[in-house]
Amino acid sequence: MTNAALGGSFRQINQLNRTDMHADLEELVSLTKGLFVTFEGGEGAGKSTQMRLLADSLSGRGYDVLTTREPGGSLGAEAVRHVLLSGAAESFGVRMEAILFAAARSDHVEEVIRPALQQGRIVLCDRFMDSSRVYQGVTGNLEPGFVETLERVAVNGVIPDRTIIFDLPAEAGLERARRRSNEEPDRFEKEQLETHEKRREAFLDIAEADPERCCVVDATLPPEVIAAEVLRLVEALLPGDGEPQSSRVEAAS
């Protein structure tokens, strides 16, 4: 599939109903309907570190912040996480893996993410729907319609307000991943460099197709520089000067 075709597919997936809302700071600095920020990118891109730094910055300002991850984040999803990352489901094919990811995401959304947003919390999530678009859709060669249907059912209207994509060469990211862990590479880390580079390109295609939601950050920069840029990108969505803020959280159908 050409890059142009991929971009068209991503734009089609992005045509979801989006609901505007007003988010005002209350006494406890909670948002009326929360804020949902996701962190995406290839292996070793520094997502987890930057999510922690952002959480610390926002918590220091009095915001109620929840950090979570995928696959996982809820009891049901964590049970599926080991099956997926250990490679236990690999022999059943990428379609089965995609269905398992979607099942885990659905549980995560309904049990953790949606309730937190409805409570006015800021939810920061390490990976979300874009990882499935890239890992199972692009490099898994699943047809866009199948990926779109799984996504629509799994997220059930809960779309990130902002997605930050951490970009760096795949080889550099894999070297970082190897240095940070003494464990064997997981199901996805062990794949060929060419596959990882294709994923990098796919994340950039997603960002190009949905620039309102997605922002690309150069992950080769020093961590403190990246952290400042991430904070700037999220601050732009926080209430200020009485201006209404946009939210993509919809009521469960």
Domain assignment of residue 251, yes or no: no
Overall pTM > 0.95? no
**174-192: pLDDT as tens digits:** 787 777 666 665 545 566 7
Domain assignment of residue 247, yes or no: no
Domain assignment of residue 229, yes or no: yes
- pLDDT (0 to 100) of residue 21: 31
**218-227: pLDDT as tens digits:** 999 999 999 9
Domain assignment of residue 67, yes or no: yes
What is the domain extent for residue 141? Answer: 3-17+34-235
**48-64: pLDDT as tens digits:** 999 999 999 999 999 99
φ, ψ dihedrals at 32, nearest 5°: -55, -45
Pairwise pLDDT comparison (192 vs 84), residue with the higher score: 84
For residue 52, the domain's CATH number is: 3.40.50.300
Relative orientation angle of helices 144-155 and 3-13, to the nearest 10 degrees: 30
- pLDDT (0 to 100) of residue 33: 76
Domain assignment of residue 94, yes or no: yes
Domain assignment of residue 197, yes or no: yes
Alpha carbons within 13 A on the beta-carbon side of 111: 14
Contact 120, 33 (CB under 8 A): yes
- pLDDT (0 to 100) of residue 2: 47
Q: How many domains does the chain have?
A: 1
Pairwise pLDDT comparison (4 vs 244), residue with the higher score: 4
Domain assignment of residue 240, yes or no: no
Q: CA 149 to CA 199: how far, in whole Å?
A: 21
